[in-house]
């Protein structure tokens, strides 16, 4: 028995009254219930649970009043099926019962019933109960909708944040790419002009990287190193000799001995480097990336005992990146081909560096160098085998005068010739460039 089905498609507009489905095998009970509710609600009455399920395929009521004692399928079984289906589990169910005992009520509530209405029905009470549950249900829906709106807004915000982060990342990557290109171009310009150094810039960057890694492993200066942007520092090291751009070709490429004046001229490349980088800084708003370049260019020829240049700073007054750079730079100078010498063997370079611990170099960094020297040797020998000239087999084969200029890294770090009035001992003491 069905009295009305407002919408068999299951969709009802907001202006429609709530739809109550009453399921009871007693026609007289259905009539009483319908009379109690039809003034305020649309009412659908059915005589069995099976019929209810048939109708539920076509419409979803706002509430079901379900008799417990019915033939074939009772209310307990019916509510179990209702609650097991995603389509019907949220429909509030009020049990209609003549039992009135606490145990039956508890069983029904445990199965998911929203409430109980005892038979015989009191129309006013039934209306009130139904109204209370419909109000509660509508408030629940409102809250759910608000939660959904909030979730949607949160999702939009998260998406927005994601997109913003992506844009920032892309922008940052472009800036870094531009910086890299600029550093690479300028560094290559310097190296190609001072063409005898051959990959000096690339190698010193590598030695610097190995030294910094080794210091971290050994826990030396880690408090400072952890605050560095190491990739940026390494890239910036390519500019350590940028000041050579301001040194004349005549001096830079002079194959013979340098005069004292020429030597002091070439030493100016450290100060020139700082000035060039400062000019670059003044032309860009993104100058932060040049901060290491300036330190390295200006301090890579300072010495631990204060006898270096351009400022004669000593000990820890020399910025740590500059102390690292000094080691990387001199090691590469010693083991490189220069106009005045063939490359020193690794062991000889190590010996010279050791002998200048605490004079030229930070002693703690020389210890670090010793921890990683075999790795440096391996890579350096591989590089030489691939791209460079073999080192001389031993110091005794170097003419003594040559040896005095031995670590002249194409006027990078090497001592000038004895004839030019400088110390003739093979060492980094005269590492001028």
Binding site for Fe ion (CB under 5 A): 241, 329, 412
Nearest to 279 by CA among 399, 378, 186: 186
- Inter-axis angle of helices 363-387 and 200-218, nearest 10: 140
> Per DSSP, which regions of 28-92 are E strands?
42-46, 63-67
Least distance (Å) between residue 413 CB and Fe ion: 6
Least distance (Å) between residue 272 CB and Fe ion: 10
Exposure class string for 324-336: b at 16+ Cβ within 10 A, else e: bbbbbbbbbbbbb
Least distance (Å) between residue 240 CB and Fe ion: 6
Least distance (Å) between residue 243 CB and Fe ion: 8
> Given the complex with Fe ion, which of 19 and 187 has the nearer CB atom?
187
- Count of C-beta atoms within a 10 Å radius of residue 55: 17
**Edge-first strand listing for the sheet containing 115-118:** 42-46, 19-23, 63-67, 93-97, 115-118
> Given the complex with Fe ion, which of 51 and 275 has the nearer CB atom?
275
> Given the complex with Fe ion, which of 42 and 241 has the nearer CB atom?
241
- For the chain, the helix, strand and coil percentages under 3-state DSSP, each to the nearest 5: 60, 5, 35
- For residues 427 and 53, give the distance between their C-alpha atoms in angstroms, rounded to a whole number: 99
**Cβ proximity of 336 and 198 under 8 Å:** yes
> Given the complex with Fe ion, which of 121 and 292 has the nearer CB atom?
292
Least distance (Å) between residue 248 CB and Fe ion: 16
Least distance (Å) between residue 204 CB and Fe ion: 6
Least distance (Å) between residue 238 CB and Fe ion: 10
Of the CA atoms within 13 Å of residue 227, those in its CB half-sphere come to 6
Least distance (Å) between residue 409 CB and Fe ion: 6
Least distance (Å) between residue 325 CB and Fe ion: 8
Chain position carrying tokens 């062991």: 347
Chain position carrying tokens 């002091």: 264
> Given the complex with Fe ion, which of 41 and 331 has the nearer CB atom?
331
> Given the complex with Fe ion, which of 99 and 268 has the nearer CB atom?
268
DSSP 341: B
**Cβ proximity of 363 and 357 under 8 Å:** yes
Least distance (Å) between residue 202 CB and Fe ion: 11
Query: What six digits make up the tokens of 14?
Result: 């907001």
Chain position carrying tokens 């003419």: 399
> Given the complex with Fe ion, which of 117 and 258 has the nearer CB atom?
258
> Given the complex with Fe ion, which of 329 and 408 has the nearer CB atom?
329
- For residues 335 and 344, give the distance between their C-alpha atoms in angstroms, rounded to a whole number: 5
Reported residue count of the chain is 433
Least distance (Å) between residue 323 CB and Fe ion: 14
> Given the complex with Fe ion, which of 205 and 412 has the nearer CB atom?
412
> Given the complex with Fe ion, which of 18 and 241 has the nearer CB atom?
241
Task: Look at residue 204 and give its three-state secondary structure.
Answer: helix
**Cβ proximity of 324 and 304 under 8 Å:** no
- DSSP symbols for 359-409: TTB-HHHHHHHHHHHHHHHHHHHHHHHHHSPPPPS-GGGS-HHHHHTTT--
Query: What six digits make up the tokens of 400?
Result: 């003594």
> Given the complex with Fe ion, which of 408 and 412 has the nearer CB atom?
412
């Amino acid at each position: 028995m069905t009295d009305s089905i407002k919408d068999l498609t299951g969709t009802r507009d907001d202006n429609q009254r709530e739809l109550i489905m009453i399921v009871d095998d007693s026609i007289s009970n259905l009539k009483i219930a319908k009379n109690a509710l039809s003034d305020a609600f649309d009412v659908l009455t059915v005589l069995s649970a099976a019929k209810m399920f048939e109708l539920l395929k076509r419409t979803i009521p706002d509430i079901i009043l379900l008799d417990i004692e019915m033939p074939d399928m009772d209310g307990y079984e019916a509510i179990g099926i209702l609650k097991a289906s995603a389509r019907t589990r949220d429909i509030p169910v009020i049990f209609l019962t003549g039992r009135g005992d606490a145990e039956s009520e508890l069983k029904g509530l445990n199965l998911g019933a929203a409430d109980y209405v005892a038979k015989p029905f009191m129309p006013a009470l039934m209306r009130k109960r139904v109204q209370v549950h419909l109000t509660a249900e509508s408030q629940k829906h409102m809250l759910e909708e608000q939660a959904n709106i909030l979730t949607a807004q949160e999702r939009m915000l998260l998406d927005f944040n994601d997109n913003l982060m992506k844009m920032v990342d892309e922008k940052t990557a472009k800036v870094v790419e531009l910086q890299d290109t600029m550093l690479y171009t300028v560094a290559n310009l310097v190296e190609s002009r001072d063409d005898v150094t051959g990959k000096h810039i690339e190698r010193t960057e590598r030695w610097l990287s190995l030294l910094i890694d080794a210091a971290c492993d050994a826990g030396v200066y880690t408090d400072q190193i952890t605050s560095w942007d190491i990739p940026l520092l390494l890239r910036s090291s390519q500019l350590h000799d940028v000041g050579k751009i301001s040194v004349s070709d005549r001096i830079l490429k002079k194959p013979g001995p340098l005069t004292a004046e020429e030597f002091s001229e070439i030493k100016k490349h450290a100060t020139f480097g700082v000035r060039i980088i400062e000019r670059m800084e003044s032309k860009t708003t993104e100058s932060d990336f040049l901060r290491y370049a300036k330190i390295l260019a200006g301090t890579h020829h300072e010495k631990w005992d204060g006898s270096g240049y351009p400022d004669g700073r000593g000990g820890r007054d020399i910025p740590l990146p500059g102390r690292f750079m000094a080691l990387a730079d001199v090691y590469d100078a010693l083991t490189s081909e220069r106009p005045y010498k063939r490359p020193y063997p690794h062991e000889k370079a190590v010996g010279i560096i050791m002998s200048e611990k605490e004079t030229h170099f930070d002693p703690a960094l020389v210890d670090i160098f010793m921890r990683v020297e075999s790795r440096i040797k391996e890579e350096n020998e591989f590089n030489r085998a691939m791209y460079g000239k073999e080192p001389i087999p031993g110091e005794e084969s170097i003419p003594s005068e040559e040896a005095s200029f031995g670590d002249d890294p194409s006027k990078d770090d090497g001592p000038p010739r004895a004839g030019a009035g400088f110390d003739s001992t093979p060492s980094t003491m005269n590492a001028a460039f």
